[in-house]
Amino acid sequence: MRIVAGKYKKTNLKTLEGDEITRPTRDMVREALFSSITVHNETLFLDLFAGSGAIGIEALSRGAKDVMFNDHNKEAVRIIKENLAKVREERRVLNLDYADCLKKLKNSGFDYIYVDPPYAFAEYGKVFELVREYNVLNKKGIMIIEVRKDTQLPETPGYSCFKERRYGINKLLYYRKEEEQ
């Protein structure tokens, strides 16, 4: 796996073996993702299920101000730190369950939250609930969910899906907070 664009373009990254614990996002999907969002020197980005850290490092490569990495798997955290060292970036990498991570990041105001858990994950509703409860996403922020193309997400009170894109066996779903009345 390699970084697609930006200052770290073509840098090869390490990944965990297999796809049971992590499943690296393909180059084509990362390219499409970052072509569809605006990353600049004020962007705050959370990679909630970071795996190898490729999505967050791609955000840094394209100029994000800061990226927070989180993964529950200790081996994934080790790989993320190695990949960050490879691009000479020192960033905070948390080793927490997603719920504990969101609680710890209360009132962070991220511009983007990227959610790409293992395929067996079924707690998407809880992710939305905790992001709202802990105010982790800023008012105009976007939550991007990567899932298998046949995955149906539950109702997401307080959020609306404004874009869906399919890429092979995966799809990206883009959510923003609904306007408060």
For residue range 28-42, list pLDDT tens digits in order.
Answer: 888 889 999 999 999
Q: How confident is the model at residue 143 (pLDDT cuts 50, 70, 90)?
A: very high
Residue 155: alpha-carbon gap to chain centroid: 20
What's at 148, amino acid-wise? Answer: R
User: Has domain 27-177 been given CATH number 3.40.50.150?
Assistant: yes
Task: Please give the average per-residue pLDDT across 166-176, as a whole number.
Answer: 94
Enumerate the domain spans of the chain: 27-177
Q: Is 115's pLDDT higher than 60?
A: yes
Say whether pTM exceeds 0.85.
yes
Mean confidence (pLDDT) of the chain? 92
Cα 63 to Cα 42: distance, rounded to the nearest angstrom:
8
**What is the predicted pLDDT for the residue at 181?**
41
Q: Which two three-digit tokens encode residue 73?
A: 């798997």
Cα 37 to Cα 18: distance, rounded to the nearest angstrom:
29
Q: Is 67's pLDDT higher than 80?
A: yes
Tokens 């373009």 sit on residue: 9
Task: Please give the average per-residue pLDDT across 147-154, as a whole number.
Answer: 91
Q: Which two three-digit tokens encode residue 154?
A: 């539950």
3-state secondary structure of 98: helix
